[in-house]
Structures are given as structure tokens and as C-alpha cells.
Amino acid sequence: MTDSIYREVILDHYRNPRNKGTLDPADYSYEDTNPLCGDEVRIDLRVVDDRIADVKFSGRGCAVSLASASILTEMVEGRPLAEVKGLTKDDLLEELGIPVSPARLKCALLGLKVLKAGIYGVAHADDEL
């Protein structure tokens, strides 16, 4: 794919976010902000038989942060929790498909940070990325 197609993918996820919303009740729920801008993302997970049975995200942020969270929900839905715990920032950045400048890295990784914090507990979220 060319760069422009990747950009289209980001714009498409921003304009038509997948799995947008909240889950109540949820097995894991967490929200956090990008400390640089104050934008917020929340992710809710429902786990059945150690798999992500349902996932939703919500929040407000830039196109990169929200598109990235939307893409992340598609990456994890239906997957075993153990696999999702092992997701790295490189896995997500590869899925985004566009070069992310250092300034936008926290935008792109906000959803993953929130997801990990929800699963692992706040204290280890940054260590696990």
C-alpha cells in the first residue's frame, strides 16, 4: 500500500470509528489522557473464556489518537487476552501503517496505553508498552 492509502485508512477510522461507545458492565474499563494535550481515551473490555468478547472505545482527541484507538479495537476483538497482553507499540504502529513523528507518538499510543492499563492495572501500563 502507498502512503496515501494508509492515510486514507487513518481518516476512515477517524470519520467512521469502529467499536465506538462504552460497555456497562465491563470486565476491564479504564481511561487516561495524553499528558501533552489533555485528550482522553477510554476503553472497555468484556472477556469471555479468556478472549476479548467485546471492546468499545470512547473519548476525545486528535485524528491520530482516535483512529489509532479504533484500529486497536479491531486488532484485539476476538483475540485471547494473553495475546492482547503481549501487544507491543510496534504491533500497533505497524498496523497504523504511516510513519508517526515523535511528536505524535503519544497520540498514536494513547489507546494502547489505556488498554494495557485496564488489563494490567495502572502501575504497570508504561512498563508493558
If one asks whether residue 39 binds ligand FES (CB under 6 A), the answer comes out as yes
Whole-angstrom Cα distance, residue 64 to residue 69?
A: 8
Task: Select the residue interacting with ligand FES from 23, 43, 64, 100 (CB under 6 A).
Answer: 64
Q: Which three cell numbers stand for residue 89?
A: 507499540
If one asks whether residue 68 binds ligand FES (CB under 6 A), the answer comes out as no
If one asks whether residue 37 binds ligand FES (CB under 6 A), the answer comes out as yes
Whole-angstrom Cα distance, residue 100 to residue 96?
A: 9
Q: Which three cell numbers stand for residue 114?
A: 489505556
Q: What is the CA radius of gyration of the chain?
A: 14
Task: Select the residue interacting with ligand FES from 61, 96, 125, 128 (CB under 6 A).
Answer: 61
Is 47 or 105 the residue whose CB approaches ligand FES more closely? 105
Task: Select the residue interacting with ligand FES from 34, 58, 68, 73 (CB under 6 A).
Answer: 34
Do the Cβ atoms of 43 and 75 come closer than 8 Å? no
Shortest distance, position 10 Cβ to ligand FES, whole Å: 12
Peptide bond into 25 cis (omega under 30): yes
Q: Which three cell numbers stand for residue 120?
A: 494490567
Is 47 or 63 the residue whose CB approaches ligand FES more closely? 63
The residues binding ligand FES (CB under 6 A) are 34, 37, 39, 61-62, 64-65, 107, 110
